[in-house]
Amino acid sequence: MVYLLIKEMADIADDVIIVTSSLTRDMTGKEDLYRAAAIRALCKITDSTMLQAMERFMKQAIVDKLPSISSAALASSLHIMKQNLEVVRRWVNEVQEAASSDNIMVQYHALGYSTTFVFLPSSLRRKSIEKHWFCNIKYISLVLLVLQNASLILTMRYTRTQAGKLYFSTTTVIVTEFVKMSTCLCMIFIQKGGNVKEYLNYLWHGIVTEARDTFKLAIPSGIYTIQNNLLFVAVSNLSAATFQVSYQLKILTTALFCVLLLGKRLVKMQWLALLLLFVGVAIVQIQPSDPTKAAQEKTSQSQSAYTGMVAVLVSCISSGFAGVYFEKILKGSSASLWLRNVQLGLFGVFFGLIGMWMKDGDDIMEKGFFFGYTKYVWTVIGLQAFGGLLEAVVVKYADNILKGFATSLSIIISTVVSVCLFGFTINLQFCVGAGLVLIAIFTYSQPQPKPAPPAETLPNGKQREVSKV
């Protein structure tokens, strides 16, 4: 209240200047509670004659490790700018350091400096703006991922269990790959500034000239095509909630392939999480059969839990291997992610056509490629294509903890909606199994401690740890 009173009286009382020495002591003191308020009050009553004396303290406050103090110094210095702009211009190094802070409020105030007086480098201004945008897009993408995961499985389940004309799932795999590939081609075109010649040259060089590099994507693309077809088999035979829980086994298979192919090391807590995941899925799958379940679920299609679970297992194994293999290719190449997705899409359409012809070729020749397509089928295609691109955004802007939270929330939403729409029955065994899976997801996603520093051998033969500077 005292600091606030000083600020309010600054415009009407000249004698307020006598408290500057006290404010300076509070500003540089050890009581963090008073420092930010003292900075604001001092900057309010200061004039050009006092500016030289307090400049050093303001520089220290701008780069202070406490965000509240740094923000107070940056925001309050707007008053000082009116007194002597040239002095404030000398603080450019401190403002640049503050703009690189992890605290969004400090970034915001530093960005205010750059936009008002434009003395921050353009690269730093752009970086600061991107940090604010990334913070927003991170949470927006996670919300969209939750909705996409839940709605995709529920919509797939709905379209595969309705009476009447049933569409060919093999055709939706092809259309989805084509939509994703077209989207990536558009993104590359935008990146090239709409220059058609540069755009075509880039595609020719990346796909045809570097054909050997392109054919590396044939293996993961073929596996992804098999996986996408198996997902329809699994969803056709398992409830949406059971599928969502069981499909988390892809975390286990991905982790194992990371260890085998990438040499990744897992800590004990991660191995424990994988064990919990396996046990949780097993509990969900060995639920006692319910004789009324078939009547409760509004479906006209024959279903087999065994077929569905086998499809899930093979899909998880293929997903884990293809994902790790694709990651290994990405790390060993400078090609953009958009170009890699175009290469995947080319092979995906090719392998999808082969699978379609082998499984449904005769029926499609008789009934047509788009037989049985409804607005819900197109929704499934859109959600699948959107999900692939959204996954890339989440991987780039979010972390594993938030992604794990999104996955868990989508499982809960799928379960609740399955009860309402499909008559899914929740029992104690399902709750225990699903609970173990949720715990496993959170445990596996937690940040792991860094390995201990290497030991240094002393002349006497003993070892000591090398401290990290």
Asked which of 40-44, 408-412, 460-464 is least confident by mean pLDDT, the reply is: 460-464
Q: Tens digit of pLDDT for each residue in 171-191?
A: 999 999 999 999 999 989 998
Output 70 or 363, whichever has higher pLDDT: 363
Mean of the per-residue pLDDT values of the chain: 76
pLDDT digit string, tens, across residues 139-149: 777 788 888 88
Q: Which of 12-16, 77-81, 330-334 has the lowest mean pLDDT?
A: 12-16
Q: What residues are paired with 456 via a beta bridge?
A: 464
- Does residue 406 carry a pLDDT above 50? yes
Cα–Cα distance for residue pair 400/398, rounded to 1 Å: 7
| DSSP classification of residue 465 | E
Judged by DSSP in three states, 463 sits in strand
User: For 192-226, how does the pLDDT look when each residue is reduced to its tens digit (9 = 90+)?
Assistant: 888 899 999 999 998 999 888 889 889 989 998 99
pLDDT at site 417: 83
Q: How far apart are CA 236 and CA 225, in angstroms?
A: 17
User: Which CA distances in Å does 18 have to 14, 34, 419?
Assistant: 9, 18, 71
Check residue 176 and give its pLDDT: 92
Which residue has better confidence, 166 or 45? 166
Query: Could you read off the pLDDT of 380-405 as tens digits, one per residue?
Result: 999 988 887 777 666 666 555 556 66
pLDDT confidence bin for 335, thresholds 50/70/90: confident
Cα 440 from Cα 271, distance rounded (Å) = 10
Give pLDDT tens digits for 125-140.
455 445 544 556 667 7
CA 326 to the chain's CA centroid: 18
DSSP code of residue 455 = E
Average pLDDT for residues 9-23, to the nearest whole number? 54
Mean pLDDT of 351-375: 93
Higher-pLDDT residue of 291 and 250 is 250
Mean per-residue pLDDT for 80-86? 66
Residue predicted with more confidence, 406 or 436: 436
CB 59 within 8 A of CB 25: no
Instruction: Report d(CA 287, CA 284) in Å as an integer.
Output: 6
Q: With DSSP H G I counted as helix, E B as strand and the rest as coil, what are the percentages for the chain, rounded to 5? A: 75, 0, 20
Report the alpha-carbon distance of residue 141 to residue 395 in Å, rounded.
10
Domains within the chain, CATH numbers bracketed: 1-120 (1.25.10.10), 140-289+303-445 (no CATH)
Which range is least confidently modeled, 166-170, 178-182, 230-234, 447-451?
447-451
Ramachandran quadrant class, 246 (left: phi over 0; alpha: psi -120 to 50; beta: rest): alpha
Q: What is the pLDDT of residue 255?
A: 86
Which one of 120-124, 289-293, 428-432, 460-464 scores highest in mean pLDDT? 428-432
pLDDT in tens, 222-244: 998 999 999 999 988 888 888 88
Strands (E), 254-330: none
Q: What is the average per-residue pLDDT within 271-299?
A: 68
Q: Are 277 and 444 in contact (CB under 8 A)?
A: yes
Taking every pair of Cα atoms in the chain, the longest distance, rounded to a whole number of angstroms, is 95
Mean pLDDT of 48-64: 71
Q: Which is it for the CA torsion 333, 185, 143, 275, positive or negative?
A: negative
Q: What is the reported pLDDT for 24?
A: 64
